[in-house]
Amino acid sequence: MSGNPGKIITITGPMFSGKTSRLIELMERHILAGRNVTLFKPEIDSRYSENEVVTHKGMKLPAIIAPTDERFGEFLDAHAKNSGILGFDEAQFWKPSARLPQRLEDLANSGRIVYVAALNRDHFGNPFRITADILAISDEIYVLSAVCSKCGNDAIFTQRIINGVPAFGEIIRIGGKDLYEPRCRNCFVWPSTQMRIGDI
């Protein structure tokens, strides 16, 4: 596949901005064109299905559950060798030991077209480092916004909500509308300075 022009196309934004829907739409175009497509989802995310990527609105596409740690390299070698089109959902869940950005670039350099959907910020309002690293090596970027749950303006933040109140805790916590809301900059509730700087 080294003769083909590879590239990395990243879709980013807050929760409920349609990142996974856009990922599925882009990959379905290749399926309709008869190309070999492989979609990966992180093993930590089984909210709607074990073997599909599913949007909050119910769109779905078959997917392979992938490890998100040091096992990922060998796993990817085994499952990606026959596909020219590769997709990765919820990229922010991959751990540094998986070396996801480097592996995505290797795939693109070998002539593959790589699609990535990644959350832009955590619920503290801080950028996800892995998302920032992937954006830096992307050929194309889709930046999506959601609708603020408070005022209806464009939302670029994801607010964690417990019992209707903004809450802060561990960085990774799987959830949907029961746990998160999209917020604009004016409506987003920031944690204290100490909470933003420190790891919880």
Active-site annotation, residues: 90
3-state secondary structure of 42: strand
Burial (CB count <10 Å: 0-12, 13-18, 19+), residue 107: buried
Strand-pairing partners, residue 116, are 10, 88
Q: Which two tokens stand for residue 15?
A: 């929760």
Residue 87's closest CA among 49, 34, 31? 31
Contact by Cβ (8 Å): 112, 86:
yes
The amino acid that residue 160 corresponds to is R
